[in-house]
Structure 1
């Protein structure tokens, strides 16, 4: 491993954070941001550094924080095709320098056992920094007590599923108990909001009627059943007097539930994902079982829903864009559902393209540059207790820095991506903007479009409590 100079200066770039845009130089010392000063100022001119990176014509950004990934994740009799090594390498290529992945509690077993299993998968394998949420599969007195201990240790968020009966599903009583515990220990409860009991009825009816193609996955997982579950989760959180974070919001009706709650000044938060912003049920209807590539839950929606999602990202009714990166290869994995859409593993690849797709949204006028960084870096870091260590460029922050070329053009393709999956959800899509160089805690992991990082560079990062709560 080459030792990096302890002082690095990044000069002549446009520094973009959630709060500011300025032509500034950035000084890095021992893996942290030491100073930010206006380009050409006497302060910046006076720096001596062992290494200088020229960012002329480039943006200088905080590394991305992807708060929703599933590496090496068990689902539908198989595992997601990216492990922590391949998945975090792809994240680095896409300018994401921190992931928050989901450790899974096995029903009937201790949270700690699940957490230990995820540490064994991730530790010494990650190319970028990582943290964990905990999936609760079983809410009882024992697991509620364990939640308190995990919060103290830096696992400060817990996900419950209103979907997938018989797998991860929690009923309203279990969700209420978890919310009450979160209200007392400071942990943030996250929900996958879909009415899984009702969806299973519609799945059974569709299959009985011979509707087996991937597009029917989207049809049975009705937008109204996402909205109903979102509404119910919000009311349970109100009863518990607890904050709530709703993952992968895809439907206009669900956005309306979040907006109504936030209009009442309730501590309710939501994320969406690039697939819901750029893809639709048209993709699920691709011929020759091609729609299976796009099967994820919540499902892709008709294109009309996209305007509501973009608007919510601008008005702060949605605060975060994560990927829900959970890839399965088309060959041998997605194909498990030929003849029965309910057997298609749910999940899509995305960790490599989030920053670029959101920059494309800037190019197209959906978002400002600062809002891009707010959604992709700063707010996920604040939401999950990582700020200002992550998500910004200020003295004391980790030197997770991206040099971004806003004018470079690229075409997304499975031939050129670095995720361990045999298709691209955005095959052939042309976009403007590209990651050039990435530093993780001051160490170069992408050097002018060459991977120079290594498995094991990434450190486990314990988290504090949600920083968006009054």
Structure 2
């Protein structure tokens, strides 16, 4: 199939310019003025619009078994919703149970992902340690295109990685030319604070942020950065939600460490007042970890994006319906943690960031696509409108508007944390792997059309520690 996107303004991370974009099969084959295409080609009129690389959401959880239930969105519905919002690639998570083979879990997740409508790839979580884990990490990097490993510093008595696991895994990651990622919250502190609040009878969703204050996140971020610094390992910190964690990243980067930070669309837009709503379903619908923070922290996150100490935007898309959230009606610590957003990430960041002047269109592309592609080593296959790149393209209408609502969204779960927000700047057309999958509000996603994206390892680093 040949597609000619004509008359738009191409926006890459480094510049924007008027040009046509010609896609043939699943690749971009030409970018330039006055391009010609065969008579059989489909032509998309992008006049007055931007033509941008498809969004990459580096943090999603589709079909996730978690806290005794499974997320409402599977890999088909979740990736299809992403395509409607301009996100053409997700990086999801394989999360083995403690003592479970990493390879067994990886193949389990690959099976679930076979129905994906958009491209996908995986981080693999390290939830325990043994010689077998050490060996299987190498197999995943060598044979399965995995170059990142996740470490949960939270969720005590479940999947939390202790310091020994962090050190051993970070060291192994460095040997393999991969990158470690961390969920930075002190799991022991969270556990003790939860117990204290429940003992005092504070059982509702308003206690959730009290059990996970900024200092809990900052301690873990500083600890992970210190471990990575000693081992000379790069580090990617997911869902940075508070100023203190951002400050830790900024200090490390100023000292020359390779530390990267991720901000969630929700943390950039929504503040902690949502937990005070007396409606349990509303407040519980916003329960995620780390929790939403005050506006002071939101301002800091935007400054981090503008200043280059936060590099990517994600969603932590992890949807649960009201019936699932109700498991914690009498104990907030049992509310399944997670919110949606893969469908809305790009629009709310454009509306809040570009329309306000905080981000330029090129900076928007950088934090919604290009930086993730570069950090996780799939650039320029992804994250750029250049010849040879995958034909993942979003035609973006800066004047288009949409009012976000759970009633009209494609994602499942029946709840939307951005409910009622009218955004200006939306995708008019999404092209994924050279096929039109969304156009003028109509979703044409195909179950199973998504492809697994192998991410090659980086050159293994040399350091005095790894040389011993």
TM range (shorter): over 0.9
The yes-or-no answer on 1:155 pairing with 2:150 is no
Between the aligned partners of 1:390 and 1:46, the Cα distance in structure 2 is 23
The yes-or-no answer on 1:345 pairing with 2:336 is yes
Partner in structure 2 of residue 270 of structure 1: 261
Change (3 A) 1:143 1:407: same
Partner in structure 2 of residue 139 of structure 1: 129
Partner in structure 2 of residue 37 of structure 1: 32
Give the counterpart of 1:9 among 4, 11, 18: 4
The yes-or-no answer on 1:303 pairing with 2:306 is no
- Aligned positions of 1:57-456 closer than 5 A: 57-123=48-114, 125-152=115-142, 153-289=144-280, 290-330=282-322, 332-360=323-351, 361-456=353-448
Would you say the 8 A contact 1:16–1:59 is kept in 2?
Answer: yes
What TM-score do the two structures reach when normalised by structure 2? 0.96
| Alpha-carbon shift at residue 21 of structure 1 (Å) | 0.6
Would you say the 8 A contact 1:127–1:456 is kept in 2?
Answer: yes
| Alpha-carbon shift at residue 72 of structure 1 (Å) | 0.7
Partner in structure 2 of residue 27 of structure 1: 22
| Alpha-carbon shift at residue 45 of structure 1 (Å) | 5.2
TM-superposition CA deviations, 1:232-272 (whole Å, max 9, x none)? 00011112111111100001001000000000110111101
Would you say the 8 A contact 2:396–2:425 is kept in 1?
Answer: yes
| Alpha-carbon shift at residue 434 of structure 1 (Å) | 1.3
287-296 or 223-232: bigger deviation: 287-296
Partner in structure 2 of residue 461 of structure 1: 453
TM-superposition CA deviations, 1:78-108 (whole Å, max 9, x none)? 1111000110110110100011110111211
Q: Which runs of 5+ in 2 are unaligned?
A: 463-468
Would you say the 8 A contact 1:15–1:22 is kept in 2?
Answer: yes
Would you say the 8 A contact 1:9–1:49 is kept in 2?
Answer: no
Between the aligned partners of 1:27 and 1:426, the Cα distance in structure 2 is 35
| Alpha-carbon shift at residue 49 of structure 1 (Å) | 6.0
| Alpha-carbon shift at residue 447 of structure 1 (Å) | 2.4
Would you say the 8 A contact 1:384–1:466 is kept in 2?
Answer: no
Would you say the 8 A contact 1:252–1:309 is kept in 2?
Answer: yes
| Alpha-carbon shift at residue 31 of structure 1 (Å) | 1.5
Between the aligned partners of 2:246 and 2:64, the Cα distance in structure 1 is 28
Between the aligned partners of 1:370 and 1:206, the Cα distance in structure 2 is 45
| Alpha-carbon shift at residue 277 of structure 1 (Å) | 0.5
Would you say the 8 A contact 2:10–2:18 is kept in 1?
Answer: yes
Q: Which runs of 5+ in 1 are unaligned?
A: 1-5
Would you say the 8 A contact 2:125–2:150 is kept in 1?
Answer: yes
SS in 1 for 2:428: strand
Q: How many residues align?
A: 459
Between the aligned partners of 2:129 and 2:68, the Cα distance in structure 1 is 24
Change (3 A) 1:294 1:466: farther
Q: Which runs of 4+ in 1 moved over 2 A?
A: 44-49
Between the aligned partners of 1:284 and 1:11, the Cα distance in structure 2 is 46
